[in-house]
Amino acid sequence: MKLLIISLALCACNMAVPIEPSTQPLLELLSSSGFSELKEALVKHNMTNIINATEPMTIFAPSNEAFKNLKQNPWTKNMTHGMMEKLLGRLVVLRRKLLPADVRNEMIVDTASNEKLRLNVYPKVRTVNGIMVVMEPNVQSQQVIIYRVNRFPMSPPPGRDIFEMLNRRKERFSTLVRAIEVANLKETLKTGGPFTLFAPNNDAFKALPEAKLAKLMESPAELKSILLGHVINGTYFLGALLDSPELPALTGGLNKIAVNGMNITVNETKVLTREGMIAENGAIHVIDRVLLPSNTTAPLPV
């Protein structure tokens, strides 16, 4: 599942902000606050558990533009009723009115779709499942708080941990999957974390000298050290990379992040921003080169 690239259109000036919490019913509140498309979708798909809820609620509300993009995207424009129910339910945290001060980094919350959302707090941005969200200003009623997002947050299916996400895409990551198994890191990436993995694709491994790759595959300890240099403790989505010049790998070395416009590199290796994925236990950024000790800031153990 792709981690969607950061929207540059998160403009607080477009958000309606009541001075005091409103007493309007939910549908009226959405309509008066500029979320008419979300209102119509909730009604069309009979989301009565959300529309008629009387308990506290938090909504991560996609902009009208986000709905327009959803309808125009060839992959999503023909979504079934069941798929839309899941998508809309994922936006809503029932029985909790999460104020900005309540949100903590790596917080996991349950949604009306019975899926989970991961909330991350970085120095300059906050995200929900990797999508940037403007926490303030916001729209409130006595029971509901609404935060604007410019894209729909995606969610990995149950059981899709970091290793499983790679394993299901062997056409791109078969060499990395094999390396993880040889290095005895499978269980770490399945059950540990949350982690951020800079994942070399098959082309990255093909770029290594054949003899070098063969030697690594026969040296589990060395291979493990190299692979752990690709793993960061904690979840760092694209929004976090913009404000994280250095990220410590599990080996203790530092991975240097550089941003030039919409181009992001780690240790001078390109991050393929449109190919990233979200997993149950973290984030995956695809890279086109293996991070060897020669392009990290600290030597890896031999």
Give the pLDDT confidence of 16-62 residue by residue, as tens digits.
344 355 557 999 999 999 999 999 999 999 999 999 999 999 999 99
% of residues, the chain, pLDDT over 90: 80
pLDDT at 293: 80
In terms of pLDDT, which residue wins out, 55 or 4?
A: 55
Q: Indicate the pTM of the whole model.
A: 0.86
**Residue 67: CB atoms within 10 Å:** 17
Q: How many angstroms separate the Cα of 188 from the Cα of each of 4, 65, 100, 214, 252?
A: 26, 40, 32, 23, 17
**Does the bond joining 194 to the residue before it have cis omega, within 30 degrees of 0?**
yes
Residue 220 has pLDDT above 90, yes or no: yes
What pLDDT, on a 0 to 100 scale, did the predictor assign at position 241? 92
Whether residue 242 is predicted with pLDDT greater than 90 in this model: the reply is no
Average pLDDT over residues 84-105: 97
User: Does the CA dihedral 43-46-52-57 come out positive or negative?
Assistant: negative
The predicted pLDDT at position 172 comes to: 97
State residue 262's pLDDT score: 83
- Please indicate whether residue 241 or residue 293 has the higher confidence score (pLDDT): 241
pLDDT score recorded for residue 11: 35
Residue 123 clears pLDDT 50, i.e. is over it: yes
**Closest among 55, 46, 119 to 82, alpha carbons compared:** 46
Residues 6 or more apart from 226 whose CB is under 8 A from it? 216, 290, 291, 292, 293, 300
Count Cβ atoms within 10 A of the Cβ of residue 254 and give its class: 0-12 exposed, 13-18 middle, 19 or more buried: middle
Mean pLDDT over residues 94-114, rounded?
96
Mean pLDDT across the stretch 152-169?
95
Q: What's the CA gap between 240 and 234, in Å, rounded?
A: 11
What pLDDT does residue 261 have? 84
pLDDT (mean) for 217-222: 96
Nearest C-alpha neighbor of 126 from the set 151, 94, 104, 154:
104
Angstrom distances, CA of residue 5 to CA of 74, 140, 287: 18, 28, 15
Give the C-alpha separation, 120 to 139, whole Å. 20
Say which DSSP state 262 is in. T
Tell me which of 44-48, 252-256, 285-289 is least confident.
Answer: 252-256
For residues 51-75, average pLDDT: 94
Pair 79, 164: CB distance under 8 Å: no
Tell which wins on pLDDT, 262 or 266: 266
pLDDT band at 299 (very low <50, low <70, confident <90, very high): very low
Look at residue 137 in the predicted model and tell me its pLDDT. Answer: 82
Question: What confidence score (pLDDT) does residue 216 get?
Answer: 95
Return the closest-CA partner of residue 223 out of 273, 184, 167, 195: 184
Tokens 């493990």 belong to which residue?
A: 224
Mean per-residue pLDDT of the chain = 89
pLDDT higher than 50, residue 9: no
Alpha helix ranges (H) inside the chain = 26-32, 36-44, 48-51, 64-72, 81-89, 162-167, 170-182, 186-191, 202-206, 210-217, 220-228, 238-241
Of the chain, the percentage scoring pLDDT greater than 70 comes to 89
